[in-house]
Structure 1
Amino acid sequence: MSKPSKTEAELVAMAWAELKAHADCPDGIVITVLRTGDSWEFRTAADAATVAMPSYPECVALIVQIGDHLGKQFGVKD
């Protein structure tokens, strides 16, 4: 049985919703979806000022955890 699929925008929105519930992450983080075969994961990017913020490393770690969790539940729509 295949997993339900979400668009990349839906997955990123879900990640931001979960982040806002658990951490005070800077707005300068950009989350994208990287597809690898049948699976996917989140990637982050940010400018130097955002990377220098004390909460940045924790937020990136949370994004990875959220991506792992969502990746087990959802595929990505084409």
Structure 2
Amino acid sequence: MSKPVKTEAELIEMAKAELRVHADPPEGMVISIIRDGDSWEFRARAGHATEAKPGYPEAVAMLVQIGDHLAKQYDVKG
């Protein structure tokens, strides 16, 4: 049984919405999707000033959990 398909933009918006519920991500955190064959995962990146802000490590850890959850539910379009 195949999973529903979402675009990268849709998945990133879903992640941002869920992240705001569970963590306090600092401004400047950029989320992208990395694909590996049929699987995918989120990546976060930011400048040094953003990485040094309180809550950044927790937001990245939460993003990993959100990505694990969403990757089990959705495939990436394209």
Runs of 4+ in 1 over 4 A off after TM superposition: none
- Take 2:19 and 2:2, find their aligned partners in 1: how far apart are those partners? 27
- Take 1:40 and 1:24, find their aligned partners in 2: how far apart are those partners? 24
Gaps of 5+ in 1: none
- Take 1:25 and 1:41, find their aligned partners in 2: how far apart are those partners? 18
**1:5-51 CA distance string (max 9 Å, x none):** 10000000000000111111112100000010001000111001100
Gaps of 5+ in 2: none
- Take 2:2 and 2:23, find their aligned partners in 1: how far apart are those partners? 32
Question: RMSD across aligned C-alpha pairs, in angstroms?
Answer: 0.5
* Pairing 1:33–2:51 present: no
Count of aligned positions: 78
TM-score by length of 2: 0.97
- Take 2:50 and 2:27, find their aligned partners in 1: how far apart are those partners? 8
Give the % identical residues: 65
